[in-house]
Structure 1
Amino acid sequence: MSLKETLLQDMKAAMKEKESGKTKLAVIRMVRSSIRNAEIDGKCELDDVGIGTVIAKEMKQRKESLEDFVKAGRADLAEQIKAEMAVLERYMPGQLSKEEVEAVVRGVMEGMATADLNMGTVMKAVMPHVQGKADGKVISQTVRELLQNRQLRNSIDKRMNRL
């Protein structure tokens, strides 16, 4: 069963739950609406990977809202956002750990020419492999660290060759 079908089935179940399924129903409707909008914008039907990307985007928005509500001292809104995040977590694709992201980035960097190794080109090459499976901040931080380590090693190697 595809992710879209799962969302539809869960939405029907939440409707039958009446009062206890209100949050779940609202979140699923919001996600289905976001998926529909993405399909209209892209003029194509999304597969599970595309839907996972939309759900990851929704989760990211909720995380940012949660931080803002906690800073503002709005515990009531923070609790609602946490409940929404719990619903979204069921549909999130499996997230890669930092070590797994690092392994993917290393593999992509090894396949690239040394002259092409900069933040933009590496990110462009890495994103298709980890899109929706890892947070963008973690990916960019990993790429930045590996590029800095590589530059540091290169400068040390140059100094050692001079001696």
Structure 2
Amino acid sequence: MTLTERLKDEQIAAMKARNKPRLGAIRLVLAAIKQREVDERITLSDEDVLAVLVKMVKQRRDSVAQYEAANRQDLADVELAEIAVLDEFMPQPLSDDEVIALLDEAVASTGAVSMQDMGKLMGVLKPLIQGRADMGKVSQLVKAKLG
């Protein structure tokens, strides 16, 4: 079952359960997927759908930070609820040790030794880690390893 099919099944389940917050979050994801498919005139693969999910989670985390800074916890709670729903469709997150192991393998395979090789290294790491680890944290680990 593809990720899109799973999302559609969960949408139907949320409708039957009359769970409006969950239904709203799933509809937002499906709308973003459909928008990208229409814009690019393609059918998104699971990898592409995962990229949409990652982007949506990142947007919501940014919104939570802004809402909390403005003392609007009510709005932050709505965003946090949406993040919880979106996280259900994300792959299992990698532990720090797993990320470091993947980083070491990528360094060995690319022969990266300095900051000039960071782009090449991130190009190898991104498909392996996307959606499973915070790319900002991974970037910091790469800089520490190469710097």
TM superposition score normalised by structure 1: 0.81
What is the aligned-residue identity percentage? Answer: 36
1:17 paired to 2:6: no
1:134 paired to 2:133: yes
Comparing 74-83 with 118-127, which one deviates more in the overlay?
A: 118-127
Q: Deviation at 1:41?
A: 4.1
5+ residue gaps in structure 1?
149-163
- Given candidates 93, 97, 100, the residue that maps to 1:99 is 97
Partner of 1:112: 110
Counterpart CA distance in 1 for 2:84 and 2:112 is 43
Q: What do residues 93-151 of structure 1 show as CA deviations (whole Å, max 9, x unaligned)?
A: 11112221111111011112357762222112221221222211021111111112xxx
Q: What do residues 42-99 of structure 1 show as CA deviations (whole Å, max 9, x unaligned)?
A: 4432222221221111111111111111111001101111111111111111111222
5+ residue gaps in structure 2?
none
Q: Which has the larger Rg?
A: 1
Find runs of 4+ consecutive structure 1 residues off by over 6 angstroms. Answer: none
Partner of 1:46: 44
Counterpart CA distance in 2 for 1:143 and 1:40 is 36
Partner of 1:86: 84
Q: 1:69 to 1:114 in 2, by over 3 A?
A: closer
SS in 2 for 1:118: helix
Comparing 26-35 with 106-115, which one deviates more in the overlay?
A: 106-115
Counterpart CA distance in 1 for 2:62 and 2:92 is 20
Does the Cα contact within 8 Å between 2:4 and 2:46 map onto a contact in 1? yes
Q: 1:114 to 1:80 in 2, by over 3 A?
A: closer
> How many residues were matched structurally?
146
Does the Cα contact within 8 Å between 2:50 and 2:90 map onto a contact in 1? yes
Counterpart CA distance in 2 for 1:128 and 1:41 is 23
Partner of 1:158: none
Comparing 32-41 with 54-63, which one deviates more in the overlay?
A: 32-41
Counterpart CA distance in 2 for 1:43 and 1:109 is 36
Does the Cα contact within 8 Å between 1:49 and 1:132 map onto a contact in 2? no
Partner of 1:35: 33
Partner of 1:154: none
